[in-house]
Amino acid sequence: MIIPELTLSKLLIGLIKQVKLDFEANVADETKSLLYQYFNGLVDHKKDYYVQAKDLFTREPDHARNIEVRLFFDASRAAVPTIHITMPSEQQGQNSLGLGESGYDTIDVDGERTTAYERRFDTQYHIVCTSDNHSEVLLMYHLVRAGLISVFDTLSLTGLENARISGQELKLNADLVPNHIFMRAVGVDCSYDVSVPRWWTETLITAICTEPITLLNP
């Protein structure tokens, strides 16, 4: 069974790790690094986003503001660089006729058969970037979006099909998140199939025995 949150979490953790390893491998010539290709030349007044990106994405795991990924929105981490995975909506997609039997049968040694049922879902996920520093949110948002674009083929192979990307600013309840927290979300819309075995099994007919019938005279 596919759990898209886990798939996205592994992908995002791998992305952050790969960006750091890639920069360390190209420290002698930063122009070859992904961070340089993504953010070099992006300057706003005296703010150089490439310099900030190097600091943000190369932090060690024990750094107090190291980026972490959460499967749900974690308000306790909202003030430091964090990537949260949330699911605003999920709807049933198009299915096969009838009960949606996938045609996959499991037969055990006792001759019991379990039919697998299948449903398709159209789902929207928000990959929410938060921090009390708006520059960090901006950098995380654009890195995540660029990373997702570069692995669209991988998303399809994991079962998240027809992926589409969007983005938006988010404003959450002030009672849950302080006003000084910045957040922006990368939206991922996709479809995936859920195939599960039926709860009960059926006994297969393996043989038919017949006996001769003696007719009685009236």
- Amino acid letter for position 90: E
C-alpha pair distances (Å), 77 with each of 60, 71, 74, 181: 17, 12, 6, 10
Question: For the segment 69-113, what is each residue's pLDDT rounded down to a tens digit?
Answer: 999 999 899 999 999 999 988 888 776 444 556 555 555 556 666
CA atoms within 13 A on the CB side of 207: 2
Sorted by where each begins, the domain ranges of the chain are 4-203
Q: Does the pTM of the predicted model rise above 0.85?
A: no
Question: For the segment 16-72, what is each residue's pLDDT rounded down to a tens digit?
Answer: 999 999 999 999 999 999 999 999 999 988 889 999 999 999 999 999 999 999 999
What stretches of the chain show up as alpha helix (H) in DSSP?
Answer: 4-25, 34-39, 49-57, 134-150, 152-157
Q: How far is the C-alpha of 161 from the C-alpha of 192, rounded, in Å? A: 6
- Structure confidence at residue 79 (pLDDT): 92
